Amino acid sequence: MISYNKVILIGNLTKDPEIRYTPSGTPVASFRLAVNRRYKQGEEFKEEVCYIDIVVFGKQAESCGQYLNKGSGVIVEGRLQERRWEGEDGQKRSKHEVVAQTVRFLPRRQESAVGGQVMADKSASGGEPSLSPSVPAGVPEEESALGGLENDVPF
C-alpha cells in the first residue's frame, strides 16, 4: 500500500515557543499554530480557526526559540504524527501534532519582504539546516540568485 504523509501550514504562533532538550541534548521547540480558514456562507464571509501543535528538532528548534514569538508568522512543512502516552491518572491519551522538517519565518509587517529569514531544510547529505534570506512571494527562485538586485530599477 502506498502512503504519503506531508503537511504544509501557514499561520501564526499563539504564544512564544517552548524550548526543552532531550536526554541526549537535542533541542526541541514546541508551539501552537493558529491557521485561519475564510469562507463564504450565503452572503456573508465567515472565518474559523484551527489550532495545530508543532514540534521542531535540532538547530531549527534553537532558531525558532531565538527568533519567533507570539504572533510570528511561519510556513511549516512536515509530517503528521500521533503521540501516545499515559496520563498521571493512568488514562491512555493521544494527540496529533506536526513534526516540522522545515520552518520558514515570514517577515513581520514592518519588515521588508526581502528581510525575512528562511530556515532551510536539511540537505540530503544529512547536514544541518541553514538560515538564508527568504524569496519574496511572486519572485521566481532563479531571480533570487541576483542577490537582492531584483528590486533595483533597471535604468
Structural domains in the chain plus CATH codes: 7-151 (2.40.50.140)
Q: How far is residue 109's CA from residue 106's CA, in Å, rounded to a whole number?
A: 9
pLDDT at residue 68 in the model: 97
| pTM as predicted | 0.68
Q: How far is residue 151's CA from residue 155's CA, in Å, rounded to a whole number?
A: 12
Residue with cell 544529512: 126
With beta carbons less than 8 A apart as the criterion, state whether 79 and 55 touch.
Answer: no
Q: How far is residue 106's CA from residue 3's CA, in Å, rounded to a whole number?
A: 30
pLDDT at residue 108 in the model: 81
Q: How far is residue 133's CA from residue 39's CA, in Å, rounded to a whole number?
A: 33
Tens-binned pLDDT, residue by residue, of the chain (155 aa) = 899 999 999 999 999 999 999 999 999 999 999 999 999 999 999 999 999 999 999 999 999 999 999 999 999 999 999 999 999 999 999 999 999 999 999 998 765 445 444 444 433 334 444 444 444 444 344 333 444 444 444 43
Q: Per-residue b/e over 13-38, b at no fewer than 16 CB within 10 Å?
A: beeebebeeeeeeebbbbbbbeeeee
The strand pairing partners of 9, in sequence order, are: 76
pLDDT at residue 110 in the model: 65
